[in-house]
Copies of this chain bind each other. A is one copy, B any other.
């Protein structure tokens, strides 16, 4: 089966489509800066993100009932605020900061690349972000998704197989008619094991200038692209 049979592209979002680290630091710097508070906001963003996998792991292992990412983020935010000496915010303030994840900025090539890819392919999210987060992000950033799917509709966080298989099933497609697009080798390996086609897009500054992992494709993915415009070129869009 050639890539000509691919009907849908399914996208990882955090890090692949949007710059979570730069955007979270920007939000925090602005909000706390107006209150005269300074911290290393990139370090805050890194720490908030570092609590992401362990929180999802509690859900994956069944030690915690299904919990959407907004709620995991909120729990983790309280921990990090405390660690950075910023406890004592009220509920609306916590909620506003937590929704910074709904206001992430796309990488510069993302909107143009997606718009080109959409001419030929169904574009769906296959993210661990919850639907509301992804919908609000897309409206603000202009991300032209055909469908917002992934962990929440599957009630399973990647890399659990259900997250990928439920998304393909909802699109009415066999996995080999879907191509997973991600900046993360592990995500693509999980998708490939289930029959998805795979496209690696390098995002070497997702974790800042000292990033060490996911600098390049570590496996024989179907497509390896420098960004979404290069992906569109390689897929003939």
Contacts and interface: CB of A to CB of B under 8 A. Distances in A.
Interface of A: 70, 122, 124, 130-133, 135-136, 138-139, 146-149, 152-153, 170-173
A153 B146 CA distance: 15
Contacts of A122: 135-136, 139
Contacts of A131: 147, 149, 170-172
Contacts of A149: 131
A147 B146 contact: no
A148 B123 CA distance: 12
Count of identical protomers in the assembly: 2
Contacts of A133: 172
A130 to B, nearest CB: 7
Nearest to A139: B146
A148 B149 CA distance: 9
Given A124-B135, A131-B147, 18 more contacts: A70-B172, A122-B136, A122-B139, A130-B170, A130-B172, A131-B149, A131-B170, A131-B171, A132-B173, A133-B172, A135-B146, A135-B147, A139-B146, A147-B147, A148-B148, A152-B170, A153-B153, A153-B170
A135 B171 contact: yes
Nearest to A134: B147
A8 to B, nearest CB: 9
A11 to B, nearest CB: 15
Given A152-B170, A153-B170, A170-B153, A138 B146 contact: yes
| Closest CB pairs A-B (n = 6) | A132-B172, A131-B170, A147-B148, A153-B153, A135-B146, A135-B147
